[in-house]
Amino acid sequence: MLTPEAIIAVIGSGTMGAGIAQVAAGAGHRVWLYDIQPGAAKRAIDGIATALSARVAKGKLDEASKLATVARLHAAEKLADLADVGLVIEAAAEQIDIKQAIFRDLAAICSPDAVFASNTSSISITALASGIENPERVAGLHFFNPAPVMKLVEIVSGLETSPVVAGQLSELALRWGKQPVSCQSTPGFIVNRVARPYYAEAWRALEEQVAPAAVIDAALREGAGFPMGPLALTDLIGQDVNFAVTCSVFNAFWQERRFLPSLAQQELVLGKRLGKKTGQGVYRWPLDAQPEYQSGQPDDNAAKQVMKTGKTLELDEVLVAVTCGITATALSAELKRPVVLRDKLADTSLEVLAASASVTSLQLAKVIHYFQQQGKRVLVIKDYPGMLVWRTVAMLANEALDALQKGVASEADIDTAMRLGVNYPQGPLAWGAKLGWQNVLTLLENLQHHYGEERYRPTSLLRQRALLENQHEH
C-alpha cells in the first residue's frame, strides 16, 4: 500500500501536521490535509507555500519544486474525502479519546488495508489500536519538531502492530529522507523517556542551589558538548510542555522516582513563566545569561609543588581528582587532606570544580590558577555528589540501558534516536562504554548511598556490563 504513489492523509493542521504534510508532498505524494476547524487546513497549506517561498528566496529550493509540492497539497472538507488514502497520519490534540474517535471514524471510511499512524509522543499505540477493526494496521509514526528539518522518526509498534506495517513505515521514512528507529509502545518511546534525566538532574541542582542556572547550563554545554544547556532548553521547548511530558512519563511508570517532576519547574508553570514564548522562564528572553567564570589569579598564588599521577593531581597539599559520586568533603574526611573535585568527561576548554569544606580560599585560588595556566575557563560550584556533567551522563546511560534491557529498542536505535532526536553529542550507550561501565556504576552507587533514594538505582544490565568490562581487563 505504501508505494511512492500512495495518497497520504494528515489529520490536524497545527505545526506538526502541517510539517508532516509538507514532508509527504515534498517526497512526491498527493496529500489530503484535514482539520476539524473550518478553514484551518487551507490556512496551513498557505503557510507551507510561504515557508517554501522563503526557501526559494534563499536558493535552497527551486521554484518548480515548490510549485509541484504545493500542487500536491489539498484541504479536505470532510473525512469522507479520505476514502482512497493508503496512509493516515494523525497529528491531532494529545488526547486519547480524540485520537481513538478519529481512527474509528476513518476505519468505516478507508480501505481495510489503509495504514493508520499516529504522531503521538506519549499515548499508547496499543490503546489507540484497541477500538478499531484490523488493529494490526495501527502504528506510531513520531516526527520531531520541526518535521521538515528533523531527521528522526520513531516507528512505534503496539501489541497488535504487524511487523509488515512497521517495516513499510520504515521504508517510507527512508524514502522521505528521514532516519527511522523502531521501538515498542512504552511510555515516552525512546527519546522522551531516555532524555528525562537531562532535565531532571539540572532541576535538582537548581533546587539544591548548587550553582546559578547559567553555570549549570554552561557546564553541560561546554563540559559535555550538548548543543544547549538543559534549563535554557526547557525555556525554549516551553516549561508547560516539558513539565507535562515529565508528568506523563512519571505517571505512566507508576510514579517511578527517577522520573520525579520538579517543584521548581511546576512553580514556573503555575506562574505562567513558560520560557521564550512568554519572555520569561528560568531566564529572561531574549537570552543573554552568561555564567561567571573565575577571574585569573596573580602568579604568587601558583602552587609550589605540582605532581600528576594518573587521573589525580597534587597542588601543594591539595588533592585534585575527578568526581566518582561522593562529595569532596566526604573524600577529604576519608583521606584527611583538602580535596578539590573536577567534573570531567573529556578534554574540553572548561573545568568545573567543587572544593571540600577544608579547602581555604588561597588553596582554591591556586587550583583555579593552575587550570587557567593550561588555557581552561573555570567554573566553581558548591560541593555536590557526582557534580553536574558526570551525574547527568551517568543517568542518561543508565536510563538507556533500562530501555534496552526491557526490549524498547535496539542499542543502535537508542543511540541513533538520542543523537538525531535531541542532538546529543554521542549516543548514551556508546558514551557509557567510553567512560567505562564500572565508573558509571560506581558513581550511581555512590549517589544512591548519599541520597538513600531509588532514583539513582543502577539497572541490572549496568551491573552486568561493569562485571564483563572488569573480566576483559583482567
Tens digit of pLDDT for each residue in 106-124? 999 999 999 999 999 989 9
CA distance 102 to 200: 35
Instruction: Tell me if 401 sits within 8 A of 465, measured CB to CB.
Output: yes
Catalytic residue among 170, 192, 262, 332: 192
Task: Count Cβ atoms within 10 A of the Cβ of residue 457 and give its class: 0-12 exposed, 13-18 middle, 19 or more buried.
Answer: middle
- Does position 251 have pLDDT exceeding 80, yes or no? yes
What's the rounded mean pLDDT across residues 83-103? Answer: 95
| DSSP-derived 3-state class of residue 369 | helix
Count the residues in the chain: 474
- Give the pLDDT score at 311: 84
For residue 286, which phi and psi values (nearest 5 degrees)? -60, 145
pLDDT tens per residue, range 135-171 = 999 999 999 999 999 999 999 999 999 999 999 999 9
- Write the CB contacts of 148 (distance below 8 Å, at least 6 apart in sequence): 19, 22, 23, 26, 51
What's the rounded mean pLDDT across residues 404-423? Answer: 98
Catalytic residue among 13, 29, 90, 154: 154
Instruction: Tell me if 261 sits within 8 A of 243, measured CB to CB.
Output: yes
pTM here is 0.96
pLDDT tens per residue, range 438-470 = 999 999 999 999 999 999 999 999 999 999 998
- Does position 296 have pLDDT exceeding 70, yes or no? no
Note if the bond before 286 is cis, omega within 30 degrees.
yes
CA distance 351 to 143: 37
* Bridging pattern class, strands 318-322 and 339-342: parallel
Count CB neighbours of 335 within 10 A.
Answer: 12
Catalytic residue among 13, 118, 119, 121: 121
Q: Is 439 marked active-site?
A: no
CA distance 88 to 128: 13
Q: Is 142 marked active-site?
A: yes
Q: Tell me, what amino acid is at 173? A: A
Least Cα distance to 169 among 21, 16, 8, 34 occurs for: 8
Per-residue cell: 184: 515498542
Catalytic residue among 29, 74, 142, 369: 142
- Give the pLDDT score at 107: 96
The CA-atom distances, in angstroms, between 392 and each of 164, 165, 398, 452 are 38, 37, 10, 18
- Give the pLDDT score at 188: 95
Count CB neighbours of 67 within 10 A.
Answer: 12
Q: What percentage of residues in the chain have a pLDDT greater than 70?
A: 99
Q: What is the 3-state secondary structure (H, E, C) of 2-59?
A: CCCCCCEEEECCCHHHHHHHHHHHHCCCCEEEECCCCCHHHHHHHHHHHHHHHHHHCC
Q: Is 470 marked active-site?
A: no
CA distance 465 to 97: 42
Per-residue cell: 397: 546511560
Mean pLDDT score of the chain, rounded to an integer?
Answer: 96
Least Cα distance to 131 among 121, 123, 143 occurs for: 123
Least Cα distance to 466 among 424, 440, 427, 437 occurs for: 437
Per-residue cell: 74: 489539498
Note if the bond before 298 is cis, omega within 30 degrees.
no
Alpha-carbon dihedral 370, 374, 380, 382, rounded to 10 degrees: -70
- Does position 404 have pLDDT exceeding 90, yes or no? yes
Q: Is 121 marked active-site?
A: yes
- Does position 299 have pLDDT exceeding 90, yes or no? no
